[in-house]
Amino acid sequence: MEVTVIGTGRMGAAFVKRAAQLGHKVYAWNRTRRRLEGLPATPISSPSEARGLAAVFVADDEALLSLVNEVGGDAVALMGTYSLAGADAARKALAARGIKAMAAPVVGGPGNVERGDAIYIIGGDAEVYGRYSKLFAELGKVMYVGEFEKAVVLKLAYNSLLIGTVAVLGEAASLAAAHGIPPSQFKELLQQTVFKDIGSVYIDRMYSDEPGTFALKHAGKDVRYATAAAAGRSSTIVLSAVRSLYEMLEVLGYGDAYYIKAGILESRK
């Protein structure tokens, strides 16, 4: 099957590698041509040259809407995390050109995508999904939710929970540290509770020097999109507080930091 990846940052590049490993013919485009180097894909010079399923991995609404009027292919899958309004505008622009779109945001990081255990939340036209359902089943775990909008919102809801959780976890760890309790001891407590998995996965990462795979500025963008989707429909009190934290940290120059460090960075400001 032919697949074209539009946007080869960490997630897009991982998707290229996974699709190629499965034996699919992969094409790729990126504004920065050097990001195509070393990838098992045939470079294309424009999104309009996309073939088969065009999997779009660009970073945000602005990037998505700047190229949606030139993306080619038989169908388009919006793989990134976009706002409800942005994703809908992209879908309508594609439909006006006779191209059907699915929302197919990914739960998991680049490693999950490469290993084949990422989750693809898919919403959109059932006929289009049926055409590519086997491909997605090969790529990872699939959750088909029917409506396009539901896939977009489910990803925003998930990211909001994750981003908010790690921010509170970081502040809790900082509270303990402020009273002379090392992160290892806090982690030891968590491992004996319902929070054992969260502590095991995130505490060490928060205090390590690893750069991470998801920048704080991108997490802040996702929370902004989530609060916009929630406005007038559900409470945004906690989401707005998390959004304010990430926006403040970005202003303070932490935009490129690993997003899970938000809670401990805030305590150091």
What is the domain-level CATH number for residue 201?
Answer: 1.10.1040.10
- Helix 216-230 / helix 237-249 crossing angle, nearest 10 deg: 150
CA distances from 75 to 50, 51, 69, 252 (A): 10, 9, 13, 41
122, 146, 170 - which closes a domain: 146
Cα four-point dihedral sign 7, 10, 13, 18: negative
Q: Is residue 269 part of a domain?
A: no
Q: Reduced to 3 states, what is the DSSP secondary structure of residue 3? A: strand
Q: Give me the pLDDT at residue 210, please.
A: 84
Q: Reduced to 3 states, what is the DSSP secondary structure of residue 124? A: strand
Look over the chain and give the mean of its residue pLDDT values, rounded to a whole number. Answer: 95
Name the phi and psi angles at 211, rounded to 5.
Answer: -70, -25
Report the 10 Å Cβ neighbour count for 112: 18
CB 83 within 8 A of CB 229: yes
Q: What is the pLDDT of residues 108-131, one digit of tens each?
A: 999 999 999 999 999 999 999 999
146, 181, 209 - which closes a domain: 146
Q: What is the pLDDT of residues 135-191, one digit of tens each?
A: 999 999 999 999 999 999 999 999 999 999 999 999 999 999 999 999 999 999 999
Do 74 and 174 reside in the same domain of the chain?
no
Percent of the chain with pLDDT over 70: 99
Q: Which amino acid does the sequence have at 118?
A: A
Do 119 and 180 reside in the same domain of the chain?
no
Do 127 and 182 reside in the same domain of the chain?
no
H or E element at residue 77: strand 75-78
* Domain extent for 251: 152-261
Q: Is residue 268 part of a domain?
A: no
Do 195 and 73 reside in the same domain of the chain?
no
Q: Is residue 267 part of a domain?
A: no
Q: Is residue 110 part of a domain?
A: yes
Q: List the structure tokens of 265.
A: 């960075």
Do 166 and 125 reside in the same domain of the chain?
no
Q: Is residue 130 part of a domain?
A: yes
Query: Which string of b and e fits 235-252 if b means at least 16 CB within 10 Å?
Result: ebeebeebbebbbebbee
The conformation of residue 259, written as its DSSP 8-state character, comes to G
Query: For residues 118 and 263, what is the distance between their CA atoms, to the nearest angstrom?
Result: 26
CB 120 within 8 A of CB 142: yes
pLDDT at residue 21 greater than cutoff 60: yes
pLDDT at residue 29 greater than cutoff 60: yes
Q: List the beta strands (DSSP E) in 15-97.
A: 25-29, 42-43, 53-56, 75-78
Q: Is residue 266 part of a domain?
A: no
The conformation of residue 258, written as its DSSP 8-state character, comes to B
Name the phi and psi angles at 138, rounded to 5.
Answer: -75, -35
Q: Is residue 131 part of a domain?
A: yes
pLDDT at residue 267 greater than cutoff 70: no
Do 183 and 121 reside in the same domain of the chain?
no
What is the domain-level CATH number for residue 107?
Answer: 3.40.50.720
pLDDT at residue 232 greater than cutoff 90: no
Q: What is the pLDDT of residues 205-218, one digit of tens each?
A: 999 988 888 999 99
Q: Give me the pLDDT at residue 268, please.
A: 61
Do 138 and 11 reside in the same domain of the chain?
yes
Do 136 and 16 reside in the same domain of the chain?
yes
Structurally, the chain folds into a number of domains equal to 2
Query: For residues 82 and 67, what is the distance between their CA atoms, to the nearest angstrom?
Result: 14
Q: What is the pLDDT of residues 64-109, one digit of tens each?
A: 999 999 999 999 999 999 999 999 999 999 999 999 999 999 999 9
Q: What is the pLDDT of residues 32-68, one digit of tens each?
A: 988 899 999 999 999 999 999 999 999 999 999 999 9
Do 59 and 165 reside in the same domain of the chain?
no
Report the 10 Å Cβ neighbour count for 149: 17
pLDDT at residue 266 greater than cutoff 80: no
83, 113, 146 - which closes a domain: 146
Q: What is the pLDDT of residues 10-19, one digit of tens each?
A: 999 999 999 9
Do 68 and 16 reside in the same domain of the chain?
yes
CB 11 within 8 A of CB 79: yes
Do 8 and 136 reside in the same domain of the chain?
yes
Do 207 and 163 reside in the same domain of the chain?
yes
